[in-house]
Amino acid sequence: MSSLLITGCSQLLTLRGPVPRRGRAMRDLGLIRDGAMLVDGDRIAAIGPRRKIEKLPPARKAEKLDLGGRVVLPGFVDSHTHLIFPASRANEYEQRIAGKSYQQIARNGGGIRATVSKLRKSSPEALKARASACLLQFAANGTTTLEAKSGYGLDWMSEVKTLNVLHQLHQDQPLDIIRTFLGAHVVPREFQRRPGAYVDLLVHKWIPSIATAGLADFCDVYCDRGAFTVPQARRILSAARACGLVPRIHAAQFDRTGAARLAIELQAASADHLEQINAADVRALASSNVVCTLLPGCCFHLGMEQRAPARELLDAGAIVGLATDFNPGTSPTNSMPMILSLACSQLRMSPAEAISAATINPAYSLRLHDRVGSLEVGKYADLAAFDVADYREIPYYFGVSLCSMTMKRGVVVHPHNS
Ligand code: NIG
Ligand code: FE
């Protein structure tokens, strides 16, 4: 097995410590100044101060990689993306700027259903090519693991097409992709007059088949005004849970329908969005193990005033995560550093809290915390190096790409082909 000694980490953020992170522990990044790491194959064999690591006998024989004084942290774990879609919706962006709301556009034939019509007609090859290009951008911004949802097919063939493309991508390119079935994204047009029949189809046919075929690990429901109700989401996610698919929920983005409480009731891995929750919801989430995955890219892109109560969640001791929600309707970004900037400037998270929320906590929400999310002996050598002097500069410089190197399982994946 090849051995690699990585030095030149002016700040090495290990994120070692308790999993998941809550409260004050979210500010502890396990920082080592002038750090080094010994990588054996795809795993971390040793990590600590350079002087100590350099002296280890295997370090002497190892290949050397000097990062020249960069800030190094675990590769980002992006726990909420809609990676597979056929085209942008820049036309809707322009309409929203001119004053139309996200819901008005959806009612007029745009929104999720517009993407669904296009995806149904797209070949798997075309979807894969588009997603592959996006994955290079994810890697270029320091992401090494991502979750990806179906949900733009909404018929059996197109949902399976999406999940199969995700499987191929997981095999063919370096980043790890965890699959979530989101058949309950919206009620498809052909079921618009009988949503109950669509829920029956999901519960009795599609979810058991997806689970049996091993096409996904998680099941998500968009539980909100204009999508699925709490009773429908309860049925869908209970069926998923019974088949071994772990629930995640799009909750309280536009309306406080009770989806956040449902996430707790069902012991969901994650409740995502949470812009509309109240103080009692904050308390309930804080005393649960549900990861509160905040998606500030949506508020930014949609120009929404109402933000998720990040400060309240953090201060109450909730497990807070951050993700891009990469999708063509509400958050067309694959930059976790941009999400960190928004989390700090708009949600008042500290840079350290934001980094914990972008690494170890989302790893926990994907049940991957034994392999990714922190830099510790035995875990994957998944890391991102930033061309900054201090980790706080990662969110501070917004909208610029300062990630100078990304490594996935011991292999440099950005810059590409170097
Ligand atoms: O997470 N809200 C539901 N799903 C996406 C939006 C998808 C779309 O508009 O295409 C979200 O924001
Ligand atoms: Fe989403």
pLDDT averaged per 10 residues, the chain (length 418): 93 97 98 98 98 97 97 99 98 96 93 98 98 98 98 98 98 98 98 97 98 98 96 98 98 96 98 98 98 98 96 98 98 98 98 99 98 98 98 97 97 84
Both tokens of 23, joined, read: 């409260």
For ligand 1, residues with CB inside 6 Å are: 82, 111-112, 115, 222, 250, 253, 298, 325, 327-330
pLDDT at 416: 76
3-class secondary structure per residue, the chain: CCEEEEEEEEEEECCCCCCCCCHHHHHCCCEEEEEEEEEECCEEEEEEEHHHHHCCHHHHHCEEEEEEEEEEEECEEECCECCCCCCCCHHHHHHHHCCCCHHHHHHCCCCHHHHHHHHHHCCHHHHHHHHHHHHHHHHHCCEEEEEEECCCCCCHHHHHHHHHHHHHHHHHCCCEEEEEEEEECCCCHHHCCCHHHHHHHHHHHHHHHHHHCCCCCEEEEEECCCCECHHHHHHHHHHHHHHCCEEEEEECCCCCCCHHHHHHHCCCCEEEECCCCCHHHHHHHHCCCCEEEECHHHHHHHCCCCCCCHHHHHHHCCEEEECCCEECCCECCCCHHHHHHHHHHHHCCCHHHHHHHCCHHHHHHCCCCCCCCCCCCCCECCEEEECCCCCCHHHHCCCCCCEEEEEECCEEEECCCC
pLDDT at 57: 96
Ligand at minimal distance from the CA of 223 is: 1
Atom of ligand 1 nearest to the CA of 102: 9
pLDDT at 1: 65
pLDDT at 10: 98
Ligand at minimal distance from the CA of 332 is: 1
Distance 49 CA to ligand 2 centre (A): 40
Q: Please give the Cα distance from 405 to 416 (Å, whole number).
A: 9
Distance 171 CA to ligand 2 centre (A): 24
Residue 229 phi/psi, 5-degree rounding, is -80, 170
pLDDT at 229: 98
**Residues near 42 by Cβ (< 8 Å), separated by ≥ 6?**
380, 381, 409, 410, 411
β pairing state of 270-273 and 291-294: parallel
**Which residue's CA is the nearest one to ligand 1's atom 9?**
329
Q: Please give the Cα distance from 371 to 360 (Å, whole number).
A: 10
pLDDT at 222: 98
**Which residue's CA is the nearest one to ligand 1's atom 12?**
330
Atom of ligand 1 nearest to the CA of 106: 9
pLDDT at 2: 86
Closest CA to 311 of 347, 275, 281, 346: 347
**Which residue's CA is the nearest one to ligand 1's atom 3?**
222
Atom of ligand 1 nearest to the CA of 85: 10
pTM for the model stands at: 0.98
Distance 193 CA to ligand 1 centre (A): 22
Residues within 5 A (CB) of ion ligand 2: 325
